[in-house]
Copies of this chain bind each other. A is one copy, B any other.
Amino acid sequence: MNAQRTSDADETPDPCCAPERAPEGMAHAERICRERDAQFTPVRRRVLELMLESDRPIGAYALLDRLRADGLKAQPPTVYRALEFLIEQGLAHKIQMLNAYAACRRPGSRHAPHFMICTECHRVHEAVYPGIVDALDQAAKDVGFVTRKTALELAGICTSCSAKDTERGAESDK
């Protein structure tokens, strides 16, 4: 008996970390930027693409390396500027606990995404759970706080990793 259900993609196993969705992600970004008259320049485009293709968050300097592998003579500010832009547009997020960046896997759903970070496989599940958003709104309201940005992160062990762990545990227990 769950009081709360996650909003939409609840039945599908979890498209959260699905690199093959990169094309859709790019198409969405194109549209967003066109709507807003925001310039979706080659660097920005490429940085987003790299993040979409990855199944886990990437550090700024790792992105930098890949840009350079493309032949661009990029410097740190290049990457950080692109990231800043993408984050402003809601197309990417910074994972504070990792100092790393990930493409938004919930395009469209604005506000307060939260991240479950597996410390074992380093994958990150992005969710937008209404219960949390509501509770945070209430908490902020109670003290008259006006929220501008959020960082909601859980670090721990994801399902598939804890499955693997118990397997290994069972073996070594014999």
A132 close to B125 (CB less than 8 A): no
Contacting residues, chain B, for A97 (C-beta < 8 A): 96, 149, 151
A4 within 8 A of B: yes
Contacting residues, chain B, for A76 (C-beta < 8 A): none
CA distance A146 to B10 in the complex (A): 18
Contacting residues, chain B, for A129 (C-beta < 8 A): 135-136, 138-139, 142
Distance (Å) between the CB of A157 and the closest chain B CB? 5
A159 within 8 A of B: yes
By size class, the interface of chain A is 35 or more
B151 close to A147 (CB less than 8 A): no
A116 within 8 A of B: yes
A98: nearest chain-B partner, CB-CB? B96
Known: A135-B135, A136-B132. Is A143-B155 also a contact (CB below 8 A)? Answer: no
| 8 Å CB interface, A144-170 against B | 144-159, 162
Known: A145-B159, A149-B155. Is A140-B119 also a contact (CB below 8 A)? Answer: no
CA distance A145 to B14 in the complex (A): 13
Contacting residues, chain B, for A147 (C-beta < 8 A): 116, 154-156
B156 close to A148 (CB less than 8 A): yes
B158 close to A96 (CB less than 8 A): no
A69 within 8 A of B: no
10 cross-chain pairs, A with B, having the tightest CB-CB distances, nearest first: A144-B159, A131-B135, A96-B96, A129-B139, A132-B135, A148-B156, A147-B156, A149-B155, A151-B153, A146-B157
Return 14 A-B CB contacts under 8 Å, by A number.
A4-B135, A4-B139, A96-B151, A96-B153, A125-B145, A127-B139, A129-B135, A129-B142, A145-B154, A145-B156, A148-B157, A149-B156, A150-B154, A152-B153
